[in-house]
Amino acid sequence: MTRTQPAFEVEMTRVIDAPRDRVYAAWTQVDAMVRWFAPKPYQLVVKQMDFRPGGRFAMAMRGPDGNEFPFTGTYREIVPNERLAWTGEFEGGPAEQQTTEIQFEADGPRTRLHIRQTFHVMTPTIEMAVKGAWQGWSMTLNQLAEQCGDTDRIEQHVVIAAPVERVWRALADHREFGRWFKVAIDAPFRVGEASRGHITHPGYEHVKWDAVVKAMDAPRRFAFTWHPYAIDASVDYSNEEPTLVEFTLEPAPAGTLLRVVESGFDRIPAHRRADAFRSNSGGWAGQMGNVRTYVEAQR
């Protein structure tokens, strides 16, 4: 197959707080893959997995309505605990529509994953799939982290078709932030000061917005601390250690790559840690879609 300028490419790095052999096993064993390799609420269905160089696989993403979106492929490189590469295609399209490469690097007791997925052609099915590629990979890697026992960090990415300065304004201006996040904030963000208000999303109006702004390094980094999943109005969460939410922005070929990382879940009381992690993992996926929709509509 002749390699030309790719039709679309996703490249991501993620550190998982688990040893390399455990992370590698999660990519190579069927019983492990079906628990994480599909952004919720989709479920991975493995119909064939001949795990060897030249071996074929046949899988599908099954939606909550039971509809399946099949894809097939061929394993090209397998270097245990170091590298995986495969080519793949969606049903009804040409062979080897895309290439996926995964590098596993030891980072002390942790594992640094480098992922590159390249689409060589663009079909209607692929065009639909790549619209949510960054968000889908982010959600999936959060599920991988949880599968491997890393429940301290959530990370999401999205590419927004707007300049960095425009995306920055949607974060740093408390009124614009409130429009896409669905929160009414009482006053402008100021570093070192508390930010208070309430959620405006229907059904969650009782939930308070209570954060402390930690950084506003225009136009690249915005950070605050808060108490995640603090949804019970009868509970005082002030004695808990907060998590840190960090937004970073960088130019991308299609506009701006926006990344959000929330860390510190391992310091949350054990009785609500898993619920907070899962809720915020799904919540950030939705919010990254919200900020993209908001900014692109305002250009």
CATH number, domain of 146, equals 3.30.530.20
Give the C-alpha separation, 152 to 58, whole Å.
33
Same domain, 110 and 167: no
Identify the band that residue 128 occupies on the pLDDT scale cut at 50, 70 and 90.
confident
Residue type, 29: Q
- pLDDT computed for residue 134 by the predictor: 84
Q: Can you give the residue range of the structural domain that contains 83?
A: 8-150
Same domain, 144 and 245: no
- The domain boundary, picked from 133, 150, 167, lies at 150
Q: Looking at the domain assignment, is residue 57 inside a domain?
A: yes
Confirm if 84 and 73 have CB atoms less than 8 A apart.
no
Residue type, 141: L
H helix intervals, 69-150: 124-130, 133-147
- pLDDT computed for residue 2 by the predictor: 46
- pLDDT computed for residue 242 by the predictor: 98
- pLDDT computed for residue 153 by the predictor: 93
Q: Looking at the domain assignment, is residue 3 inside a domain?
A: no
Residue type, 39: P
Identify the band that residue 253 occupies on the pLDDT scale cut at 50, 70 and 90.
confident
Q: Sort strands 255-263 and 153-160 into parallel, antiparallel or unpaired.
A: antiparallel
Same domain, 143 and 240: no
Give the position of tokens 């926006």.
Answer: 258
Give the mean pLDDT of 60-70: 95
217 phi/psi in degrees, rounded to 5: -100, 85
Same domain, 116 and 174: no
Same domain, 122 and 71: yes
Same domain, 104 and 58: yes
For the four alpha carbons of 289, 291, 297 and 299, in that order, the dihedral sign comes to negative
Same domain, 182 and 260: yes
- Strand-pairing partners, residue 23, are none
The contacts of residue 137 (CB under 8 Å, 6+ apart) are 10, 12, 115, 117, 157
Same domain, 133 and 187: no
- Checking if the pLDDT of 200 tops 90, the result is yes
Confirm if 130 and 121 have CB atoms less than 8 A apart.
no
Confirm if 96 and 85 have CB atoms less than 8 A apart.
no
Q: Looking at the domain assignment, is residue 183 inside a domain?
A: yes
pTM: 0.83
- Structural domain tally of the chain? 2
Angle at CA of residue 136, ends 205 and 176, nearest 5°: 40
Query: Of 42-51, 128-137, 210-219, 232-241, which gets the smallest average pLDDT?
Result: 128-137
Q: Looking at the domain assignment, is residue 285 inside a domain?
A: yes
* Preceding amide of 94 cis, omega within 30: no
Give the mean pLDDT of 151-167: 94
Q: Looking at the domain assignment, is residue 1 inside a domain?
A: no
pLDDT tens digits for 23-36? 999 999 999 999 99
Q: Residue 265 has what DSSP assignment? A: G
- The domain boundary, picked from 106, 129, 150, lies at 150
Same domain, 139 and 192: no
Q: Looking at the domain assignment, is residue 2 inside a domain?
A: no
| Residue 8 vs residues 101, 158, 288: alpha-carbon distances, Å | 14, 14, 20
pLDDT tens digits for 85-117? 999 998 887 889 999 999 999 999 999 999 999
Same domain, 208 and 88: no
Q: Looking at the domain assignment, is residue 275 inside a domain?
A: yes
Give the C-alpha separation, 260 to 269, whole Å.
23
